[in-house]
Amino acid sequence: MDSAPPSTRRQRRGSGGITLGDVARLAGVSPITASRALNTPAQVSPETLARVHEAVARTGYVPNRLAGGLASARSRLVAAVVPTIAGPVFMEMVQSLTSALADAGYQLMLGQSGYADSREDALLEAIIGRRPDGIVLTGIMHSAEGRRRLLASGIPVVETWDLTPTPIDMLVGFSHTQAAAAVVQHLHARGRRRLALLSGDDERALRRNRGFVDEALRLGLIAEPAELPVHLVPAPTTLGSGRAGLARLLQLAPATDAVFCSSDLLALGVLTEAAARGIEVPGRLAVVGFGDLAFAGDTHPALSTVRIDGTAIGQRAARCIVDRAEGRPVEQKVLDLGFQVIQRASS
């Protein structure tokens, strides 16, 4: 009862590794029992459990999750797409996402879309091909093609860092428009009247800029949108572009008394350039960043900024996906985590 005649046997030696079958044989049980011992131990008698565990220990068996995923249609893989990991902005989210998923037994696959949408399609295909149990998007998916593919894939999707009335599936974010408006109000309350914008050219930053201009109009700080000095720099933003940006802005509008930067790094650049030029902050110039990165409280002067809780975004996104994967109802499909204007010395 061992093998057919070797002459007619197809050849296909496995990868050579230990399989669940080997473990089962060593433990003297059937493969499915070994599987249950590892996955649903409650269904197995204590002695059997012990024997299987011993066999695992002796062999150094590591389950093949590719095979498991194929058989169970659950890969325990979650994909995250970020514009770039070179910027520190999304790191906090990715970090907490990785941890939260690891705690639940899921692994993170990372994809970079670049700020341009060119490679997004290939990336989406690569991701969907792995049949992840969930996809976390940074920002919202705009291309109709992309939305359709995601929808068609049937994979749970969480869009993050943004709000939209028409999410693909789930959403964890905050309102960029409101955040910018809150900054205008803050600066206005601090007596600033000649505001300016220094901003990356990515979509979310541009949306904040619109919110900023609108609120400035509403408060009567400007009479028409074009009055507000704006300087755009290419994303991802850097300290260097912050320095150059302030220089340019002061050329455009020397009387500027407050700058709202689209990232803390940009704001740090502004602080640096101001220091280098002997411009007093906040005396002559107020500076507000965005993101509340770890360093924001330790700059000189300490940087006012808008706090976005990347950790919370990552955790909630992980929760959404894990809940869905485990068949639990998702508490909230759309979640506005808000933001917080943090006033420090720079304004």
Partner DNA sequence: GTGAAAGCGCTAACAA
Partner DNA sequence: TTGTTAGCGCTTTCAC
**Would you tell me which residues interact with a copy of itself (CB under 8 A)?**
15-17, 60, 62-67, 69-70, 73, 75, 77, 84-86, 88, 91-92, 94-95, 98-99, 102, 105, 107-112, 119, 122-123, 125-131, 149, 152-154, 238-240, 243, 265, 268-269, 272-273, 275-276, 294-295, 297-300
Identify which of residues 68 and 301 has a Cβ nearer to DNA in the complex.
68
118 binds DNA, rule: CB under 7 A: no
**Contact code string over 33-62 relative to DNA, x by CB under 7 A:** x-xx-xx--xxxx-xx------------x-
Q: Indicate the residue among 33 and 263 with the shorter CB distance to DNA.
A: 33
Least separation in angstroms between residue 54's CB and DNA is: 14
CA 23, 28, 31, 32 dihedral sign is: negative
> Alpha carbon of 185 to those of 181, 215, 225, 296: distances in Å?
6, 8, 17, 21
Closest CA relative to residue 256, chosen from 276, 281, 237, 275 = 281
Q: Does 166 bind DNA (CB under 7 A)?
A: no
How far apart are the C-alpha atoms of 168 and 171, rounded to whole Å? 8
Q: Which of 185, 162, 172 is nearest to 341 (CA)?
A: 185
Give, in order, the Cα–Cα distances in Å from 131 to each of 72, 105, 262.
11, 16, 35
Phi, psi of 331 (to 5 degrees): -55, -55
Which tokens hold the place of 316? 């909630």
Q: If contact means CB under 5 to 8 A according to the sort of partner, which of DNA, a copy of itself, none does residue 30 touch? A: DNA
In this complex, which beta carbon is closest to DNA, that of residue 62 or of residue 226? 62
Q: CB under 5 to 8 A by kind: which of a copy of itself, DNA, none does 112 bind? A: a copy of itself
User: 125-144: which residues touch DNA (CB under 7 A)?
Assistant: none
